[in-house]
Chain A
Amino acid sequence: MSASVLNRPTAPAPRAKKRKLRNSPTGVDWLILALAVIGAVAIAFPFLLILINSFKSPEDYATGGPLALPTALYFDGITTFWERVNFPQKLWNSIWISGSVAFLAVLISLLNAFAIGIGRVRGRTWVIVAFLFANLLPQEALLYPLYFMFKELGLYNNPWSVVIIFTVIQSAFGTYLLSSVFGTFPKEILEASALDGASRWTTLWRVIVPISRPTLSVLVIFFFIWTWNEFLIPLTFLVSNENQTVPVAISVLQGDRLMDVTTTSASALLGVIPTLIFFLIFQRTLTRGITAGAVK
């Protein structure tokens, strides 16, 4: 796999370099390296299995077994599944649903965090606790009432129901994170803006948003991927074929009698590929985001 993208270190480690000169690896170190590599191969092994078996015919699989490389490249598994689920349509559903959620949830988080972190409204601790709680809740505890509400509104089996629900769930996390970021926003900049006579609204869009752009873009990417990966609510709300997202469409066909062994493998591969692409595109942002989230 594309090693050059994956192995870029996230943070420079100048001290580690200095030490490297001092210590050369001993026998034990090589043994530990070997164990770590074996572990990594074990983790990557399922991906390799899926990859080689998606390009085999079922007969090839039956004779050569799962470990052999395909005797001839066979694309029927992938094309069968691709056409059967109308994969481009599912991709587009996932893209626009996740994209809308990412954009709307960041917008809502921004407005909330502006009032909490910069405006410091009275009772803001409770407001933050409410948003945090919304993020911790199991979705099952909202599922049936939401199902009922959206049915009454005529939005059941409509992707917008999923967009609205995840906008709220993701913005609950975004509010929590951005409020703490804005809580330490440089005071001098805000004072300068006020002295220039800028209103709150102008300051938010002309001063705070441009300065916070890196954090906001991390949030957009996270919300996009989290929404892409969601399962329970899309499964419940998007029942008809043409509305389903990629994970839902792939999972509902598992165990179908018409899915032979290599077609099933191909279906898993098609589920893996989009997220692998996101990972390669956003690798640096994601690693920075994941680690910054915990270390801050």
Chain B
Amino acid sequence: MASVPFVREARRRSASPAEISAFPDRGSNQAGWWLYLIPGLLLLTFIVIIPLLWNVYLSFTEYRGIKPPEFIGLANWIELAGDKDFWASFRNTIAMIIAMVLVPTGLGLLIAAVLFDIIGKKFGGRAASFLRATYYLPQILPVVIAGIVIGWILRPQNGALNEILESIGLGAFAHNWLGSPDTALLSVMGVLVWVQLGYPVVIFMAALQRVDPELYEAAELDGAGWFARFRAITLGQIRPEVFVVTLTTTIAALKVFGPIYVLTRGGPGSSTLVPSYYAYSEFFQSQQVGYGATIATALTLLIGVVAVFFIRAQTSVERKERAGL
């Protein structure tokens, strides 16, 4: 999945005054710099800002895509609050967060530490890099193609998984993995763990390279075991990367669409429905554009809240750290 590598803004060297350009051409005015922003801001306005506001407006209308939208106040929002499918889609989002954030980050930390600390040091860097590249492999695929690969294995008739189960005498466990309500969500989660795992592994391994090995040596001399060192040093030192990974993957989990589209289309029933797929199907299948816009707006609000929450948590931790030093 194309997770966005997230870059924190570099700390500015504070020598130069904030509002003066770094390019000291006297005579030209400071306002002239805005000329360079015109194309970017115009495009942003027409492709992002206007559609976004328009979408918020549509959430207050009844609109079926043919006759002009009709203002109906909060009716869509009230309907949304009582919509079982909508709440099911949010419950499934929590499952997506487990599959895309919690499991990959936890496993990724463990795998990165093992690859770096044990395999890299005792069996050589080549072994560790080769394993890392293998874990990363699913990440390079378009996520829909990853979904199609696993969807092929989980096919109900003559799917590879069921055939394998039968050939080893476990035919009783053969199952319509994506088609039954009891396993569909778990199967989708399995696909997402498979896709996501490589991302934290790569980022955390890079992070570990920057940790001072003397810290480990000192802890080792003090008699700290591997796990104690992992907890006390590794986790503390690479916390910025853990933060970046959890923020970007949480937002990706809230937006997940492609795998649901190719694997289950939200079904059976609403057992794998997620907000983005729900909005899409309201827009283009049910032609309930106003209601789809309401779901999309609710999702946008949620993502905004999550992003602000994460960034505030990070700054408050940093502040505490600075106070502690």
Question: Which residues from chain A sit less than 8 Å from chain B, CB to CB?
Answer: 3, 6-11, 13, 15-17, 19-20, 23-25, 29, 32-33, 36-37, 39-40, 43-44, 46-47, 49-50, 53, 61-62, 65-67, 108-109, 111-112, 114-122, 127-128, 130-131, 133-147, 149, 164-165, 167-169, 171-173, 175-177, 179-181, 183-185, 187, 190-191, 193-194, 199-200, 203, 225-226, 228-232, 235-236, 246-247, 250-251, 254, 261, 264-265, 267-268, 271-272, 275-276, 278-279, 283, 287, 289-296
22 contacts between A and B (CB under 8 A): A6-B130, A11-B206, A19-B213, A33-B118, A33-B119, A43-B197, A44-B134, A44-B137, A49-B153, A67-B167, A118-B23, A140-B257, A144-B289, A180-B8, A180-B9, A225-B2, A247-B145, A271-B141, A290-B202, A293-B5, A295-B207, A296-B10
Contact call B47/A231, Cβ cutoff below 8 A: no
A6 to B197, CA, bound (A): 17
B177 / chain A contacts, CB cutoff of 8 Å: none
In the assembled complex, B194 has its CB within 8 A of some CB on chain A: yes
Write the B111-130 contact mask toward A (1 if CB under 8 angstroms, else 0): 10011001111111111111
Q: Is B149 part of the binding interface, using a Cβ–Cβ cutoff of 8 Å?
A: yes
Q: Which residues on B are within 8 Å of A, measured CB to CB?
A: 1-2, 4-10, 12-13, 16, 18-25, 28, 30, 32-37, 39-41, 43-44, 46-52, 54-55, 58, 111, 114-115, 118-131, 133-135, 137-138, 140-145, 148-153, 155, 158, 160, 163-164, 167, 194, 197-199, 202-203, 206-207, 209-210, 213, 240-241, 244-245, 251, 254-255, 257-258, 261-262, 275-276, 279-280, 283-284, 289, 292-293, 295-297, 299-300, 303-304, 307
User: Shortest distance in angstroms between B81's beta carbon and chain A's nearest beta carbon?
Assistant: 19
B22, B44, B202, B280: the one contacting A140 at CB < 8 Å is B280
Evaluate contact between B10 and A184: CB separation under 8 angstroms.
yes
Contact assessment for A294 and B254 in the assembled complex, using a CB-CB cutoff below 8 Å: no
Q: How far does the alpha carbon of A290 sit from the alpha carbon of B248 in the complex, in Å?
A: 13
A111 engages B37 (CB within 8 Å): yes
Report the bound CA distance from A53 to B155 in whole Å. Answer: 14
Chain B residue numbers with a CB within 8 Å of A141 are: 51-52, 55, 296-297, 299-300
Query: Which A residues touch B30, using CB under 8 A?
Result: 119, 121-122
Asked if residues A296 and B43 are in contact (CB atoms below 8 Å), the reply is no
Name the CB-closest residue of B to A28: B118
CA distance A122 to B12 in the complex (A): 16
**Residues of chain A within 8 A of B33, CB atoms compared:** 114-115, 119-121, 200
Given contacts A141-B52, A145-B54, A40 and B134 within 8 Å (CB-CB) = yes
Determine whether the beta carbon of A37 is less than 8 Å from that of B54.
no
Q: Which of A53, A184, A267, A279 contacts B13 (CB 8 A)?
A: A184
Residues on A with C-beta less than 8 A from B49 are 130
The smallest C-beta distance from B294 to any residue of chain A, in angstroms, reads: 11
Q: Which residues of A contact B289 (CB under 8 A)?
A: 144
Q: Are the CB atoms of B145 and A268 closer together than 8 Å?
A: yes
Task: List A contacts of B55 (CB < 8 A).
Answer: 141-145
Closest to A173 in B: B4
Interfacial chain A residues near B292, Cβ < 8 Å: 140, 144
Asked if A120 and B19 sit within 8 Å, CB to CB, the answer is: yes
Evaluate contact between A137 and B2: CB separation under 8 angstroms.
Answer: no
Contact check, B122 vs A291: say whether CB atoms are below 8 A apart: no
Which residues on the B side are within 8 Å of A145 (C-beta)? 50-52, 54-55, 58
Count of A-B contacts with CB under 8 A? 351
Partner of A25, one of B123, B160, B202: B123
Closest CB-CB distance, A105 to chain B, in whole Å? 10
Report the 5 A-B pairs with minimum CB-CB distance, sorted nearest first: A293-B5, A119-B33, A291-B206, A145-B51, A66-B160
Measured between beta carbons, the chain A residues less than 8 angstroms from B129 are: 6-10
Are B47 and A261 touching (Cβ within 8 A)? Answer: no
Distance in angstroms between the alpha carbons of A118 and B24 in the assembled complex: 10
Residue from the list B24, B134, B300 in contact with A138, Cβ < 8 A: B300
> Contacts of A226 on B, CB cut-off 8 Å?
2
**Cβ of B241 and Cβ of A295 under 8 Å apart?**
yes
Which chain B residues border A9 with CB–CB below 8 Å? 125-126, 128-129
Bound-state CA distance A153–B217 (Å) is 65
Residues from chain B with a CB closer than 8 A to the CB of A264 are 152, 155
C-alpha gap A169/B35 in the complex (Å)? 21
Q: Which of B118, B142, B163, B194 contacts A228 (CB 8 A)?
A: B142
Does the CB pair A193–B23 fall under 8 Å?
Answer: yes
Instruction: Report A57 CB to chain B, min CB distance, Å.
Output: 13
